[in-house]
Amino acid sequence: MSTPSIHCLKPSPLHLPSGIPGSPGRQRRHTLPANEFRCLTPEDAAGVFEIEREAFISVSGNCPLNLDEVRHFLTLCPELSLGWFVEGRLVAFIIGSLWDEERLTQESLTLHRPGGRTAHLHALAVHHSFRQQGKGSVLLWRYLQHAGGQPAVRRAVLMCEDALVPFYQRFGFHPAGPCAVVVGSLTFTEMHCSLRGHAALRRNSDR
């Protein structure tokens, strides 16, 4: 089985919609260390899981992905991940995979379907030292532009708790109803987002 190539993102202007804070690096460039956005590799798995565990266990008691699942997705589909590094340190990440059905199912939590046209976002997390700085918003917007620039990917889907629905709506996601996936006693809303507009933004930013 061939291993997918890693697609690194070249630096490009970031066009954020109104209401989403700009990257701190754009506002105070002279006081902040260099920022790097790149796809993740299996070697990043331990750092990813450390951030994920701290972010999710303290809130819900569950991690979207265990360490083996993180490595699994970063091996099969690294191009559907994105990490934000500050001076070489991972501070925020998104992990995704491809899905080939209209709605998410319990299987979608652990499967990558190479023929799918939907990017399923499994987890977005920010290191506790870098929260309340708008990094989650900037990273998600970058990720949607990145995913939308891949010809096979037509839309993005995720599941979230009701309190987070307004956050994701700011990025073009819309509620598709209750998600069929249940984790313990937790229930979720399924959110869908067309990537056509994000792909156009990515093309324009590359010019």
- Set 40, 65, 76, 124: catalytic member: 124
Read off the pLDDT band of 120 (50, 70, 90): very high
For residue 96, being part of any structural domain is answered with yes
Domain count, the chain: 1
For residue 146, being part of any structural domain is answered with yes
For residue 25, being part of any structural domain is answered with no
Q: Is the pLDDT of residue 82 over 90?
A: yes
Is residue 111 part of the annotated active site? The answer reads: yes
Q: Is the pLDDT of residue 14 over 70?
A: no
Distance (Å, rounded) from C-alpha 177 to C-alpha 103? 10
Could you tell me if 159 and 35 are in contact, meaning their C-beta atoms sit under 8 angstroms apart? no
**Strand-strand pairing, 155-160 and 118-126:** parallel
- Set 111, 164, 194, 205: catalytic member: 111
Could you tell me if 151 and 142 are in contact, meaning their C-beta atoms sit under 8 angstroms apart? no
Least confident residue range of 18-22, 45-49, 113-117, 120-124: 18-22
Read off the pLDDT band of 7 (50, 70, 90): very low
For residue 51, being part of any structural domain is answered with yes
Is residue 168 part of the annotated active site? The answer reads: yes
Is residue 124 part of the annotated active site? The answer reads: yes
Is residue 80 part of the annotated active site? The answer reads: no
CATH of the domain at 195: 3.40.630.30
What are the tokens at 24?
């701190």
CA angle (198 as vertex; 26, 83 as ends), nearest 5: 55
For residue 184, being part of any structural domain is answered with yes
For residue 45, being part of any structural domain is answered with yes
For residue 145, being part of any structural domain is answered with yes
**What is the average per-residue pLDDT within 146-170?**
96
For residue 129, being part of any structural domain is answered with yes
What pLDDT was estimated at residue 198? 64
**DSSP H/E element including 145:** helix 135-148
User: Which domain covers residue 178, as residue numbers?
Assistant: 35-201
DSSP for 74-120 reads HHH-GGGEEEEEETTEEEEEEEEEEE-SSS--GGGGT---TT--EEE
